[in-house]
Amino acid sequence: MSRRLLVTGAAGFIGSHLCEALLARGDEVVGTDNFDPFYARALKERNLEDLRRHPRFRFLEADVARDPLPLDGVSVVIHLAARPGVRPSLEDPASYSEANVTGTVRVFEATRRAGIGRVVFGSSSSVYGDATPAPFSEDAPAVWPISPYAASKRAGELMAHAFAHLYGVRVACLRFFTVYGPRQRPDLAIHRFTDLIAQGSPVRMYGDGSSERDYTYITDCLDGVLSAVEWTARTGRAGRGGGGGGGGAVAINIGGGARVRLDRLIELIGRTLGRTVRIERHPDQPGDVRLTAADLRRAERELDYRPRVGIEEGIRHFVSWYQEIHGRQS
């Protein structure tokens, strides 16, 4: 039996893949996006090309911070719309507050008024800041964000807890750890490094290369989101730390399960492309954390989540996609 789900940020990298996955399993999907100029609208329109032709997909251009949401008949809201980017948030923190905090509150409020009790909220590993011991556990305080973007995502989680407590909404706050794969945003590291190396341009490496990230391939991320949708339907009562069902907001890490050094990542991309890498070394960037590492025990327990795509396989898939869209001229 099909369901109708609303996906905000549907034209983005994760959002467009998620809409496709929901349609593939038989759901009806309503997607919204405001085509924020953070990156080219044409790329987002390309993400929507196949979706727009699907009979069970409907799209509405809308800004969650300002416009009403199409919630008629919707049983679950998956809120992915956000202004992205750690470094750009240092330059314009007010716009991040508007999009990521005000926008998220408006989504929760619209959901409450429509009588929808199930929400999946796309949060970020950046909420852990630079002072959380690795691996990052959801029980860590997460009260030391080091960028406006990270603070805006943590604020969204806290609003989820408030709405869950007051109105019995069940919210899965998914803390995504550096998701990558085909259609990844062009400003993100893996896409940017691949583009530079393929063109024979030098790669800017900030720091000494020893910083580490927990990279999550897009199909693993989707597994987590789809499982979280089902999690919101369970009965029971969610406690402060997680588990149970009914009303409650719970943070859950969605990661790749391994830490990858920056210098290894760059070398791996170059090797996969068959290119020599030229590196320009620069100081660490403000707002960047030295390490991300997901503790996945809660994800496994609550969502039966187990990442399956390691970094070498994931980079092969990404480079193959990159070469295909560039006509293998790289």
Catalytic positions are: 149
Q: How far is the CA of 291 from the CAs of 128, 134, 135, 258, in angstroms?
A: 10, 8, 9, 11
Residue type at position 18? L
Question: Is-contact 201 280, C-beta < 8 A?
Answer: no
C-alpha 7/C-alpha 63 separation (Å) is 12
Residue 134, number of CB atoms within 10 A of its CB = 15
Are 287 and 90 in contact, with CB atoms under 8 Å apart? yes
Residue whose tokens read 């989680």:
157
Strand partners, 259: 214
3-state percent breakdown (helix, strand, coil) of the chain, nearest 5:
40, 20, 40
| Class of residue 94 by CB neighbours under 10 A (exposed 0-12, middle 13-18, buried 19+) | exposed
3-state secondary structure at position 281: strand
Taking a C-beta distance cutoff of 8 angstroms, is the pair 322, 330 a contact? yes
User: Can you tell me which residue has the tokens 């806290």?
Assistant: 158
C-alpha 177: how far from chain center: 8
Q: What is the 3-state secondary structure (H, E, C) of 307-320?
A: CCCCHHHHHHHHHH
Say how far apart CA 137 and CA 271 lie, in whole Å.
Answer: 33
Residue 170 tokens read as 């069940």
